Chain A
Amino acid sequence: MTQQLSLYEPKISEVMKNVNKVMVGKEEVTLLSMVALLAKGHVLLEDVPGVGKTMLVRAIAKSLDCEFKRIQFTPDLLPSDVTGVSIYNPKEMAFEFRPGPILGNVVLADEINRTSPKTQSALLEGMEESSITVEGSPVPLKEPFFVMATQNPIEYEGTYPLPEAQLDRFLLKLNMGYPTAQEEREMLSRTSGDHPLTKIRDVMTKDELLDIQNSVKEVYVDDTIRHYIVDVVAATRDHDSVYLGVSPRGSISLMRAAKAYAFIQDRDYVIPDDIKYLAPFVMPHRIILTSEAKFEGYTAEGITQEILEHISIPVQRNRHE
């Protein structure tokens, strides 16, 4: 395990360095995207158009020696546009499966909330089950499989908000945010010549990525940490302002993310700091507030923060023994 750590840690930081060549001031988003990638999760990026969501995904895809696919979701997109269709090949006298964009390694699902729930669910099924069903028969997805979906804030017109159950499928939900003035100036200077995206090349092979993904699973999670995760998650379910708390899938996701995060930090065990750091990205999109709470201006992010401030950190072995 420690060997793998020392082996892969430079690779991971190289990927992030690569991405940060393209993105200005988005180190955290980059890091978190890596967390999701290594934890075999998917990312939902929510923000206004034009802040670099697509650029981020493309930068990541380009840094990896992986097949990059992009789906631009529109209201008239059909599920088969995502999964692919079988077309009759007169020469062969048979139907031939033309794979859709979901059968790539890194998939950018742009503006996912602009399409109908039917089409959305075609993607989301694949994300959860690592396979899709085409004309009744299952088709396995490629490995690695990493979806970065972007969505416009739900207040925008002409959107189909993702149902809660489907939001749950994303490991992390991230916000890009506007760059600072200085970052924006830097951005202008970088893009004045050739786009930096064209200059970066892949630094990690597909096999390496798969290896790392498997190694991440090995990261040690102590019982104390598991207790802490459960404490935090359970607190969302008991909270007064929360209509629906974080599901057990949420707990698992939190743990997986923490493992990946620890791995990136060159550590083969999870510490409470990891949980504390990741919970605000893992939990809020899994929490549904009561209408009163929403009306009073509470947000899921705020409640997550509040919970983290109230749950005490395990600092002793025998606490639960």
Chain B
Amino acid sequence: MRGENRQQFYYQLILYICGFLLFWEWMRPLEKVTDTQNITVFIIFAAFSFFISFLQVSWWLSMPLKMLGLVFILDGLFLYERLFSKEWFLIIYQQFAYNIDLILAQQWGEMTAFFRSFLFLVLLWLMSYLLYFWFVIAKRIFLFVLMTFFVITIMDTFTEYNGQWAIVRTFIIAMIALGVSSFSREMEKEGISFGGMKRIHRWILPMAAIVLFSTAIGYASPKPGPQWADPVPYIESAVGDSGGNGPGGGSIQKIGYGENDSELGGAFMRDDTPVFRVAAKKESYWRVESKNHYTGKGWEDTMEEDIRVANGGDLGIRTFTDEVETEEQYTLVNFNDDVQLNKLVYPYGAAEVVSYPEQFQFLVHQPTGEVETQVNQKARQIPGYRMHIDVPSYEYDQLREAGDDDPREIRDEYLQLPDDLPGRVGNLTEQIIKDEDNRYDRVKEVENYFSTSGFEYNTEDVAVPGESDDYVDQFLFETQQGYCDNFSTSMVVMLRSVGIPARWVKGFTGGELEDTDIELQDGDSYNLYQVTNNNAHSWVEVHFPGIGWVPFEPTKGFSNPTDFYVDTDDLDSSSEEDNSEETDTPETESPNQKQEIEEDFDSDESGGASEEGGNFWNYIGLAVALAGIAIVLYVTRFRWMSAFLKRRYKQSEDPATYQNAYHYLLKVLDNKGLKRKPNQTLREYANDVDRHFQTNDMKVLTHHYERMLYRNEQQSDQWRKVTELWENLINKALS
């Protein structure tokens, strides 16, 4: 008997470990999809809690133990005061008081990391109980396994988390857990002794074989690709902005200007946070840096670390040669207080920074044009500066006649393409440019291709390239909708595929015109532009021998603010300029109009069409949620009703209550699969039930009910005792 108990213990241990491993799978994605740090600590605490729960020591021992673990973790992570010192308690008290206030004020997002960690640890603690109950007491594993699979697949689909191995791991663990639990339950049911460890191989071997076999089959067998496109953009477009633009969406999202472009794709979240404000004569794009290396998924900077420290003066970030006509101007940039860009933003032709806080140093990375701002070797945000710029204007014929004779270092860096870039990208580009004989017109053809070939500007329904997809190829041939990153990257890659050196540039668009004709200290009048995170942008620079890098704007709905002109002998050059702008860049509009276009896009996407759609989907979502709740309530109806009825029946002792209670039990048993046939007498049924549960309770209970029913007994001193039987039976039926 003792041996049997020990074996039972081993089975429980295996089950419980499996439970913990499955739970671990729930915690793995946290690091990836949330800003949770120190996940190891949490896992250790979870393991600790699970261990304590498994020992089944009484609560007065397990509670303080877990509490102690929790306190130590919080102390180690957040508190610098001496443990259990006066200050320590004070801090704890303050944290709790503050966060409880927040909770009462329903400002969930504001809670401190300390308190969130505390809550999370408590959750882990509770989970250890729950899983102990599920796995060891109730031996109901399948539900949790199923939920684990759901979580992993949802995480995999809707977040960056890659659940490929998690699924395999979960599968193996789940198979083992289910196997062991089913085996042990079967043994228990049949009352068979476990028969000693000697014969353990009889079931261990087949189980291991089945697990390994099915895992191998599952892993090796071919899996069809997704049957429909990535659901995330679809759902997001369907829900629209109604879900709020908080960071709760969970998918890859880009907000504002980001450093890391190695994985492009996903929605571009709107964010109206102001970044900087500029006073300038005319609107221009604000360049930050360029990137040279296309990976198939995004951009990386692989240029040599050619960094030069500059203390004002000429930064050496001009992107064009002296051949280009320029106009001298000044511009004033003022960053918002809480911005942490730590870089200069500058228009084309920026020559030197003329006035700025003098403790700042500039780290110029010449090939990319990235200028980092530093104070004492540490990256710091510069509050504002004044710049001297030579605004370039490019002459058409000069561009057309520039030829294809790029210097070698340009060709080396800016013709790079990933080896596995699908050939159809190059083929398409060849098709597009086949009628043109010079670089400028070819580039123009490619630039125009995006506005004429059914591409759609969309910041929400944007695909993330899969493992085997190329970002550009996917955009050009499959999705055809996206925002600036899609358009600009595609254009660069297309140009490179036909041997035109090009690079990808990041920065900001001109922003919103806030005021005109404001006079600055130099006596000139300027326009005032507000640039927000929404203005984060990317575009294209193409190299022209002898001229330098010329910006192009492939993104649909945006226009290139750069000046191009036709050099004629006609003196009325300004009108010519206007003309040429109209002929060559038909979408070029004044800054104001451009803003309107952008807004149009927004209202088209989230405001107009999907406002109703959003509402509709809201209702659908609500209905689904309600239906879900209803289903859950229905499925668990006996559980919560039992708890409710238990109390009620205990309070009242009249025959009607007894009858209701008894019939409720019949219903629960019926639900359990022990159905009473109408022609079955209660005794016959009670025998069946007792045989099933191997008790005598139902017979006794039924006997009392019979007395009430068939003998018309109104009072019984036995009913108290019977209530206990009733509870036992309900619990048995529900477990």
Task: With CB as the reference atom, state the residue of chain A lying closest to B663.
Answer: A316
Would you call B707 an interface residue if the criterion is a C-beta within 8 Å of the partner chain's C-beta atoms?
Answer: yes
Query: A36 interface residue, CB < 8 Å from B?
Result: no
List of B residues within 8 angstroms of A312 by Cβ: 678-679
Decide yes or no whether B85 CB sits under 8 A from chain A.
no
**Bound form: Cα–Cα A316–B666 in Å:** 12
* CB contact list, A170-227 vs B, under 8 A: 220, 222, 224-225
The 8 Å CB contact of A271, one of B666, B676, B681, is: B681
Task: Say whether B711 faces chain A, with CB atoms less than 8 Å apart.
Answer: yes
Q: A317 at the A/B interface (Cβ < 8 Å)?
A: yes
* Segment from A56-64, A69-77, A151-159, A303-311 that makes contact with B: A303-311
- Taking the closest CB of chain A, its distance from the CB of B668, in whole angstroms, is 15
B710 touches A270 (CB 8 A): yes
Q: Quick check: A316 and B678 within 8 Å, CB to CB?
A: no
Question: Closest CB of chain B to A196's CB: distance in Å?
Answer: 34
Q: Is B682 in contact with A220, judged by CB distance below 8 angstroms?
A: no
Q: Give the chain B neighbours of A313 by CB distance below 8 A.
A: 678-682
- Cα A273 to Cα B682 in complex, Å, equals 8
Does B712 sit at the interface, judged by CB under 8 A?
Answer: yes
- Contact indicator per residue, chain A 250-277, by CB within 8 Å of chain B (1) or not (0): 0000000000000000001111110010
**Interface: A87 (CB within 8 A):** no
A276 to B680, CA, bound (A): 10
Nearest-neighbor residue (CB-CB) of B666 within chain A: A315
* Interface contact B710-A271, CB-CB below 8 Å: yes
Q: Would you give the shortest CB distance from A13 to chain B, in whole angstroms?
A: 20
A309-B679 contact given A269-B707, A271-B706, A316-B663, CB 8 Å threshold: yes
The residue on B at minimum CB distance from A219 is B711
Complexed CA–CA distance, A271 and B684 (Å): 12
Encode contact with A along B675-689: 1 for CB under 8 Å, 0 otherwise. 010111111100000
**A64→B709 CA distance, assembly (Å):** 36
Q: Which residues of chain B come closer than 8 Å to A310, judged between CB atoms? A: 679
**Residue from B676, B683, B710 with most neighbouring chain A CB atoms (10 Å):** B710
Q: Is the beta-carbon distance between B679 and A269 smaller than 8 angstroms?
A: no
CA distance A222 to B666 in the complex (A): 22
Q: How far is the CA of A270 from the CA of B681 in the complex (A)?
A: 12
Chain A residues with CB under 8 Å of B659's CB are 316-317
Interface: B316 (CB within 8 A): no
B655 part of interface (Cβ distance < 8 Å): yes
Q: In the complex, are the beta carbons of B684 and A273 less than 8 A apart?
A: yes
Q: How far is the CA of A111 from the CA of B709 in the complex (A)?
A: 44
Q: Which residues of B contact A276 (CB under 8 A)?
A: 681
- Closest-CB distance, A232 to chain B (whole angstroms): 11
B686-716 interface bits toward A, Cβ cutoff 8 Å, 1 = contact, 0 = none: 0000000000000000000011011110000
CA distance A273 to B707 in the complex (A): 13
A126 to B422, CA, bound (A): 111
List residues of chain A with CB within 8 A of the CB of B680. Answer: 313
Is A222 within 8 A of B679, CB to CB?
no
Interface-central residue, A222, A225, A273, A313, by most chain B CB under 10 Å: A313
Chain B residues with CB below 8 A from A272, complex form = 681-682, 710
Residues in chain B near residue A308, CB distance under 8 A: 679
Q: Which residues of A contact B681 (CB under 8 A)?
A: 271-273, 276, 313
Name the A residues within 8 Å of B683 (CB-CB): 271, 273
Give the residues in chain B near A269, CB-CB below 8 Å: 706-707, 710-711
* Distance of B492 from chain A, by nearest CB (Å): 80
- Point out the residues of chain A lying under 8 angstroms from B666, CB to CB: 315
Chain A's nearest CB lies how many Å from the CB of B233?
58
Q: Closest Cβ of chain A: how far from B569's Cβ, in Å?
A: 109
| Cβ contact within 8 Å between B710 and A225 | yes
Q: Which residues of A contact B706 (CB under 8 A)?
A: 269, 271
Contact in complex: A317, B678 (CB < 8 Å) = no
The complex places the Cα of A202 from the Cα of B681 at a distance, in Å, of: 37
**Binary contact readout B221-251 vs A (1 if CB under 8 angstroms, 0 otherwise):** 0000000000000000000000000000000
CA A201 to CA B539, docked complex, whole Å: 118
Which listed residue (B656, B663, B707, B710) contacts A224, Cβ 8 A? B710
Shortest distance between the CB of B319 and any CB in chain A (Å): 91
A220 touching B711, Cβ below 8 Å: yes
Separation in Å of the A251 CB from the closest CB of chain B?
17
Interface residues of A in 217-253 (CB under 8 A from B): 220, 222, 224-225
Residue among B656, B666, B676, B682 with the highest chain A CB neighbour number at 10 A: B682
Separation in Å of the A161 CB from the closest CB of chain B?
33
In the docked arrangement, what's the CA distance between A222 and B659, Å? Answer: 16
| Nearest residue, chain B, Cβ from A222 | B710
Interface residues of B in 134-149 (CB under 8 A from A): none
Q: CA A161 – CA B121 in complex, angstroms?
A: 88
Closest to A276 in B: B681
Query: Residues of A contacting B707 with CB < 8 Å?
Result: 269
Shortest CB distance B664–A (Å): 12
What distance in Å separates the Cβ of A262 from its nearest Cβ neighbour in chain B?
Answer: 9
Q: CA of A31 to CA of B430 in the docked complex: distance in angstroms?
A: 105
| B715 to A: closest C-beta gap in Å | 15
Query: Which of B676, B679, B684: most chain A Cβ within 10 A?
Result: B679
Could you say which residues of chain B place their CB within 8 Å of the CB of A314? 709
Q: A224 and B709: CB pair below 8 A?
A: yes
A224 to B706, CA, bound (A): 11
A95 vs B13: C-alpha distance when bound (angstroms): 99
Instruction: Looking at the assembled complex, report how far the CB atom of B375 sits from the nearest CB atom of chain A, in whole angstroms.
Output: 86
Q: Residues of B contacting A222 with CB < 8 Å?
A: 709-712
In the complex, what residues of B have CB within 8 A of residue A220's CB? 710-712
A257 to B712, CA, bound (A): 20
Across the interface, B682 reaches (CB within 8 A) one of A225, A315, A317, namely: A315
Minimum CB–CB distance from B121 to chain A (whole Å) comes to 51
Q: List the B side residues contacting A316 at CB < 8 Å.
A: 659, 663, 709
Closest CB-CB distance, B670 to chain A, in whole Å? 12
In Å, the complex CA distance between A310 and B680 comes to: 10
- In the assembled complex, how far is the CB of residue B178 from the closest CB belonging to chain A, in whole angstroms? 39
A313 to B706 alpha-carbon distance, docked (Å): 12
Assuming A273-B684, A317-B659, is B679 touching A311 (CB within 8 A)?
yes
Bound Cα distance from A35 to B706, whole angstroms: 22
Distance to closest chain B CB from A4 (angstroms): 16
- Encoded as 1 (CB less than 8 Å from any A CB) or 0, chain B from 574 to 592 comes to 0000000000000000000
A269 to B710, CA, bound (A): 7
Question: Chain B residue with minimal CB distance to A316?
Answer: B659
> How far apart sit A313 and B702, CA to CA, in the bound complex (Å)?
14
Contact partners of B679 in chain A: CB under 8 A: 308-313
Q: Which residues of A contact B656 (CB under 8 A)?
A: 317
Question: In the assembled complex, how far is the CB of residue B675 from the closest CB belonging to chain A, in whole angstroms?
Answer: 13
Contact with B along A98-121 (1 / 0, CB 8 A): 000000000000000000000000
The CA-CA distance from A310 to B678 in the complex, in Å, is 8
Question: Which residues of B lie under 8 Å from residue A270 when comparing CB positions?
Answer: 710
Alpha-carbon distance A271/B678, docked complex (angstroms)? 15
Render A289-314 as a binary contact track against B, CB cut-off 8 A, 1 for contact. 00000000000000000001111111
Q: How far apart sit A317 and B676, CA to CA, in the bound complex (Å)?
A: 17
Interface residue ranges of B255-281 to A (CB < 8 Å): none
Closest B residue to A313 using CB positions: B681
A313 to B710, CA, bound (A): 12
Binary interface profile of A, 125-144, with partner B (CB < 8 Å = 1, else 0)?
A: 00000000000000000000
Closest to A315 in B: B682
Write the B451-477 contact mask toward A (1 if CB under 8 angstroms, else 0): 000000000000000000000000000
How far does the Cβ of B710 sit from chain A's closest Cβ, in whole Å?
5
- B273 to A: closest C-beta gap in Å: 68
Which residues of chain A are near B678, meaning CB under 8 Å? 312-313
Please list 10 pairs of residues, one from A and one from B, whose beta carbons are closer than 8 Å in the complex, sorted by A's number: A222-B709, A222-B711, A222-B712, A268-B711, A269-B710, A272-B682, A273-B684, A276-B681, A312-B678, A315-B676
The 7 closest A-B pairs by CB, nearest first: A312-B678, A269-B711, A273-B681, A272-B681, A222-B710, A271-B710, A309-B679
Beyond the given A220-B712, A313-B678, could you list 17 further A-B residue pairs with CB under 8 A, ordered by the A residue number?
A220-B711, A222-B709, A222-B710, A222-B711, A224-B710, A269-B707, A269-B711, A270-B710, A271-B681, A271-B683, A272-B681, A272-B710, A312-B678, A315-B663, A315-B666, A316-B663, A316-B709
